[in-house]
Structure 1
Amino acid sequence: MLVDGFGRELTEIRVSLTDRCNFDCVYCHNEGLGDTRGPMAPQDEEMSTEEVLRVLSVAADLDVEAVKFTGGEPMLREDLEEIVRRAPESMAVSLTTNGSFLPDRAEGLVEAGLERVNVSQDAVDPEAFAEITKSGAYDRVIEGVDAALEAGLDPVKLNMVVFEGTAEYIPEMVDRVAERDGLRLQLIEYMPEIAGHPEWAIDIERVHEWLAERADRIETREMHDRKRYFVAGDEGEGMVEVVDPVENETFCENCHRVRVTHDGSLKGCLNRPRVHPMGELTEPEIRAAFREVVADRVPYYGEFMIEDDGEWIRNDEYVGEQLVVEEAPITADDD
């Protein structure tokens, strides 16, 4: 198992299978690459089936325990089921998707070996959903979530990026997971230094405060210092987790993953440069690339922490330049 200079073991890998997407979400940072979406047809720079599997084989040999396939929209890859089926048996396999293709493929993906799925959903109102995603596929996404649950992908995690364009829909999303058995909600803090538009950021503490008032009980995941809020519904209990990496040192201190972009480049962090295009490398060369990238990992993404006389300190100048926090409503049509 590879261990970086800060004692973090490499146990997970995120693999972007494409940067193509049938949605055009206004907040998308495309796995840290920026807005590179283009034609929906397969692109030459995408890793082939065999190239993806070669990277996974090396990762498994290095004791990486889990892989999450992402995009773009990974279900635009017609070979997704084959990749899932042929992934190393030692690796847990999960997927992040916009859900619009799940109605037709959830069952086949489970048969291929898919174990978990995250579905991006930022509103329960079709018009608001269309405004955020630039897509009219709201009904397909809802149908896809149902298909995933029916196929046995329980729980299904709904990913909601929290920024000024979505904050007002948080209460409705919380109600949905509280009333629907098998759903969980991840509220993901917007990272303006990656996605741009710093004026869209809101104070994530306001979200925590609202959830604390609404929740029946609260737990904290020590690993990432994440809060989990449990909200009772008529027939069960929904779980809402806040993913808040900005200024959260514990989050990055416990990061155990690296990323592979759609074109085969390896990244030690979401907000670090791409290195080592691996598509045409041999397995020994891929192994060497992993070792080098893990050895060069930094303790916190971006430039939030800088090295000063051998010690890592918070870069207050960078934080001040990058984060502009605005107010945005978090209100409910109270019961």
Structure 2
Amino acid sequence: MISAIVLKKINDLFEAEYKTNVNVDFLNVEDTLIEVEYSSLNYKDALAITAPNKIVKTFPFIPGIDLAGKVIESNNKNFSKGDRVVSTGYGLGEKYFGGFSSRAYVNSAYICKLPTNLSTKEAMSIGTAGLTALLCIQSLLKENIKPNDGPIAITGASGGVGSSSISILSNLGYDVVAITSRKEPNQNYLKQLGASKVYSLNEISNNQKPLNKQLWSAVIDCVGGEILSNLLTEIKYAGCAIICGLAQSYKLNTTVMPFILRGIKLIGIDSVYQNLQSKQNCWDNAKKLFKENYFQDNMKVIPLSEVLSYSEDLINKKVTGRLVISL
């Protein structure tokens, strides 16, 4: 028997339940079986639990878009029993049974090996959010944005991608400005991660001019909508905006002016279907890129049995940092 969070649909009603007596035969079989040691609770997971029909299409179902653990058995010769591995994205926890289960079958085409300097717990303190941040910073470095080019603005700074980005960029010597809708409870936390300044959304200019004073060498945006529209008008010449979220809105109201007069770029990041080698490169380099205190200060470890209640808190913006799930 295994433990798992199971989503059910009975008539038109949805139910999420923590169960300790799930038969392993309930799992959808793939070529690799993993003993899951840790998972993490992301916004998408919380949405799958509190409003399953928005994420999940087939029931019953096990959610969880991240997992890390040890290989029990695999038909892929590249994996051996005991290998420490991580899997995120590719439909895990959306199309395929996910990480909220003490054992999980995963297609080996979706699995990365963990480097020796990164534990499974640390991998899940990074998770999909941290992986997305790593991909954002990877793009920023490709654009040759340097620390002395000026500050980098990060929106949605209190969330997983935002807080991860602050840790990485400050560790690399960048001046990071955090922008959050929850300034008062999170200001000290964000500065501890490495932000030099913390602004609330209403402290950011809402000037509707197509171009404003050049303030930012780059922007990492996790929220979309009006705040991104405003920040685009303030990016310095040849800077860039790297976008990876839509917490505020999927809409973007802008003009061509910043792009044709300042030569800025708008770069989209997807971590879900990113090619596996790119993900492997991120995991291999993760430990040295994050500030050491990130792994101590940015995660709270919870048991699988508390995932349902924490999902409500996450939806209601009562959670700061990463929630790592111990299985």
**Structure 1 length as normaliser, TM-score?**
0.28
- Which protein has the bigger strand share? 2
**Structure 2 length as normaliser, TM-score?**
0.28
